[in-house]
Structure formats: C-alpha cells, structure tokens
C-alpha cells in the first residue's frame, strides 16, 4: 500500500499517482532531492511516524514524500538495501545488519526505548517470582519440556532482547538450551498465547496491554530492567538523503516536533497510531498502552548510543553481523545536534 502526500496530489493531480513511486529516489544531484520514499512497519514503537503522517508533517517538507507501508521488518530492510526506499522507520538491529552488509544506513533519530514486556501464563509468572532464573529448569522438570516462547524473527530487536535476557541478564545458558522459540508476528502473539500454543512472549505494546487484561496471563519482566535504556526503532536514511542536508534537517526537525506532540497530546497520538496500525488496534487500546512503561518515546540519538554499542557487540556474538558496528558507521548526529544550538 502506497500513500501519496497531499502536496503531491495538489501539485500534480491524480493523473500522476501511478508514477509517484518511480520518482521516489530521483534526485537533482549535488546533495539535492526532488522527492523521497519513507517506509515504515506499523508497530506501536514507531509512534512519531504516525504523528508525522497524520498531522501532515511530511506534507510540510520542501520535497514530495511518498509513504510506503511494509508488513514486516525483513521486507523493509530488503527494499532499503535494494534502493527502493530512502528513509526507513525501523529497528536498530536491522540497521546494523544493513551496515554490516555494506549498505549505507545512518540513524538520525531514536524513536523509543525499553519497549518490551515478557508476558506469560499466570502460572509461569508466579513460578518466576518465586524461583527467578531457576524457574526455567523447574518448569522443564515439571512439564517434561522447555518453555515455549513466541517472538519475531531471529535478529529482530525483540528477539535480541529475549536472547540477552536468557544468556546475559539471567545467565542460565545458551538460548536454545533453555527455551523453545516460535517465530510469531506481534499481532498474532495474543491469540497464540491465549490458545496455549506458547507459554510466554517478548512483546511490545499495545499487545502487552491486551495480554495483561487476561486474568490467565501476567507480566514476568520488563525490558527496561533486562537491558536498561535499550533502543527499539529509529529513523535511518540512505547516503543520497544524508547528503541532502536540508532534507535531513527537516526530517529531524519534524521528528522532534512529533515527539513533543506525543508528550503533550498522548490521546491524539494514540488515536493516530490506532488509525494507521489498524489490525484490531482500537483507539481505547492505543490510549491505554500510552500508560505502559514500555511506551517511552524519544528523538535524541545520543540517548541510545551506549546501549546500541552494547547491543551491537551482542548481535555480533550471536552471529547476526560479522563484527560490532561502530557508532561512527551507524549514527549521524549533526542534524539533531543542530536543533540544540
């Protein structure tokens, strides 16, 4: 699904809509662009994008903006690597993979941090409260199998945080020896855990809020305790956009404004999120999730630098990238810093 900016509709008329996607990556050279394509995955942590889209911030930029929706992170990363999109609102670990594979991707802003909760059956939550890390061994002894966790694909941010929890925070052994993991789309995690197909999940909002409303389920842990300040998603751009300094600056300015909007108008921001995400995410649910400690929205990329370095080292250790990605090769701080001057 491709959504065309109102500016483009007003300037060129409906007859040009069919060619809008083709024009997305065409620049004028010399660090100047005519238009850009912004891609996103419809997940709650990408709150700033929802505000920027619904409040018309993209329309206020000096260039035409095409907004493209992707159903999952891997497809977005593939499109970014192939040059089909210019700006991505996505996970920090996929950005690391892009850089590791030789694609220029510079993170301009953070979107949020501490974005997950470990949700499980009430029995497991009670066992963990009593036994801590030993709960996994006790569960296996009693049930004759390992705990079954559901999480997005290997290498995604929730997957990395889940593995970090088991291997580093709890220190109870290699991930695969402790739990059995199923790859589950976040939107399907609720029905999957309620059906009994998994015992627990590392999940973002608003789905953590849905699961928490079920008396048979409970919160086990919060990622802000597991890996304090860990990054979730951010806005990253390709080399062509990075060289267009006016475009980059306007994107960062709009992102900061969107973060301020979320802070001052959380109810409206939640409504925007519900409108864009769809998939059964109601306005009431999106508003309730705003109260969660897993809803922590920021713009400043420097607030996640140290945590990103630690995460990069761990992502390298588990084999998703060849070696840790340096801060210099992952972030571009200048546009955000310019706002503070």
Judge if 183 and 267 occupy the same domain. no
User: Phi and psi (nearest 5°) for 203?
Assistant: -135, 150
CA gap 159, 118 in Å, rounded? 12
Judge if 220 and 188 occupy the same domain. yes
Judge if 124 and 110 occupy the same domain. no
CA gap 50, 55 in Å, rounded? 8
Determine the structural domain holding residue 86 and report its residue range: 2-114+230-340
Judge if 109 and 257 occupy the same domain. yes
User: Phi and psi (nearest 5°) for 89?
Assistant: -110, 95
pLDDT values of the chain reduced to their tens digit, one per residue, 341 residues: 334 333 333 333 333 323 333 333 433 334 568 999 999 999 999 999 999 999 999 999 999 999 999 988 889 999 999 999 999 999 999 999 999 999 999 999 999 999 999 999 999 999 999 999 999 999 999 999 999 999 998 889 999 999 999 999 999 999 999 999 999 988 899 999 999 999 999 999 999 999 999 999 999 999 999 999 999 999 999 999 999 999 999 999 999 999 999 999 999 999 999 999 987 899 999 999 999 999 999 999 999 999 999 999 999 999 999 999 999 999 999 999 999 87
72 to 44, 48, 50, 184, 206: CA distances (angstroms) = 13, 18, 16, 11, 17
Of 176, 210, 226, the one marking the end of a domain is 226
Write down the pLDDT at residue 27.
Answer: 38
Judge if 187 and 99 occupy the same domain. no
Write down the pLDDT at residue 31.
Answer: 54
Judge if 121 and 221 occupy the same domain. yes
Instruction: Please count the structural domains in the chain.
Output: 2
Judge if 107 and 121 occupy the same domain. no
Write down the pLDDT at residue 29.
Answer: 38
Judge if 181 and 92 occupy the same domain. no
Q: Who's near 265: CB < 8 A, 6+ residues apart? A: none
Of 176, 206, 226, the one marking the end of a domain is 226
Q: Around Cβ 42, how many Cβ atoms within 10 Å?
A: 18
Judge if 9 and 98 occupy the same domain. yes
133 to 28, 128, 129, 159, 182: CA distances (angstroms) = 57, 7, 9, 19, 21
Judge if 133 and 197 occupy the same domain. yes
Judge if 171 and 272 occupy the same domain. no
How many CA atoms lie within 13 Å of 44's alpha carbon, on the beta-carbon side? 33
Write down the pLDDT at residue 9.
Answer: 35
Write down the pLDDT at residue 234.
Answer: 97
Of 178, 194, 226, the one marking the end of a domain is 226
Judge if 105 and 234 occupy the same domain. yes
Task: Note the pTM of the prediction, 2 decimals.
Answer: 0.88
Report the CATH number at residue 313.
3.40.190.10
């Amino acid at each position: 699904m491709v959504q065309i900016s109102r500016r483009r509709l007003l300037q060129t008329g409906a007859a040009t809509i069919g060619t809008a996607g083709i024009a997305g990556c065409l620049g004028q050279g010399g660090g100047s662009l005519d238009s850009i394509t912004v891609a996103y995955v419809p997940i709650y942590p990408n709150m700033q994008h929802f505000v920027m889209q619904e409040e018309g911030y993209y329309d206020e930029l000096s260039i035409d903006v095409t907004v493209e929706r992707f159903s999952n992170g891997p497809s977005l990363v593939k499109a970014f690597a192939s040059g089909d999109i210019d700006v991505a609102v996505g996970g920090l670990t996929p950005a690391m993979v892009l850089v590791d594979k030789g694609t220029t991707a510079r993170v301009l802003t953070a979107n949020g941090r501490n974005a997950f909760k470990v949700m499980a059956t009430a029995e497991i939550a009670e066992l963990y409260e009593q036994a801590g890390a030993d709960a996994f061994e006790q569960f296996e002894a009693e049930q004759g199998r390992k705990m079954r966790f559901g999480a997005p694909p290997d290498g995604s941010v929730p997957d990395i945080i889940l593995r970090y929890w088991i291997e580093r925070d709890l220190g109870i052994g290699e991930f695969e020896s402790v739990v059995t993991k199923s790859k589950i789309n976040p939107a399907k995690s609720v029905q999957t855990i309620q059906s009994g197909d998994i015992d627990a999940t590392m999940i973002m909002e608003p789905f953590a809020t849905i699961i928490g409303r079920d008396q048979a389920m409970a919160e086990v842990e919060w990622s802000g305790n597991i890996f304090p300040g860990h990054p979730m998603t951010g806005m990253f751009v390709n080399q062509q956009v990075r060289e267009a300094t006016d475009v980059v600056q306007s994107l960062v300015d709009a992102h900061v404004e969107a973060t301020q909007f979320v802070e001052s108008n959380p109810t409206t921001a939640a409504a925007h999120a519900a409108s864009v995400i769809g998939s059964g995410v109601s306005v009431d649910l999106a508003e309730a999730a705003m109260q969660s400690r897993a809803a922590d929205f920021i713009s400043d990329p420097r607030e996640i630098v140290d945590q990103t370095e630690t995460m990069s080292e761990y992502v390298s250790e588990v084999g998703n990238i060849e070696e840790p990605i340096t801060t210099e090769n992952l972030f571009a701080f200048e546009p955000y810093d310019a706002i503070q001057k």
